[in-house]
Amino acid sequence: MTRSLRSRATTRPRGAALLTGLVLLAGCSSLQDDADEQAAQLADGPLLSGLEREMQTAGATTEEERGAAAEAWLSTPAPAITESHGGSTWVVREREGASVTVAVYQYWESGSFFPPDQGEAAWGLACREYEVAPQVTARSIPCPEGTPAAP
């Protein structure tokens, strides 16, 4: 009986240490991953919504007209979006018909109190292909070759 108590007493601390280590590793992500996630949220949220609103009022009917209207709107970052998402911008990389490829950037500062990310910041990057005919949709894509990591 004493042996089993001793056995449990030594395995519990080891198990707790292992569990703590796994939780810490699972909960940690890199600063760049966090920044990229913020850029993706901007691309799929406010930027997509803004483009949808623009396309509803653009009056463009053909695929070419809708693509041109989307490219024009996306070529000038909207202050309503950039001001509410400080340190954000986007750049049109290419357009083909009603498809516009955009690189979305979000500046992200680490909230970590611990190294290695303590006090660090990075530009997040997410690339999207916005299809604007007949409805507006966003598709996550690999960034086109030559897309800079920061604006």
In a domain, 149, yes or no: no
In a domain, 24, yes or no: no
User: How many other CB atoms are there within 10 angstroms of residue 51's CB atom?
Assistant: 23
Q: Which residue has the higher pLDDT, 138 or 109?
A: 138
In a domain, 147, yes or no: no
- Domain of residue 61 covers 30-140
Domains in the chain: how many in total?
1
- Asked whether residue 140 carries a pLDDT value surpassing 70, the answer given is yes
In a domain, 68, yes or no: yes
Element (H, E) at 36: helix 31-44
Q: Cis bond leading into 13, ω under 30°?
A: no
CA distance linking residue 92 with residue 72, whole number of Å = 9
- pLDDT band at 134, cuts 50/70/90? confident
Q: Name the least confident of 22-26, 60-64, 84-88, 132-136.
A: 22-26
In a domain, 44, yes or no: yes
Provide the H-helix boundaries in 76-129.
79-84
The pTM assigned to this predicted structure is 0.76
In a domain, 130, yes or no: yes
In a domain, 39, yes or no: yes
In a domain, 108, yes or no: yes
Query: What tens digit of pLDDT does each residue of 51-72 get?
Result: 999 999 998 889 999 999 999 9
Residue-averaged pLDDT of the chain: 84
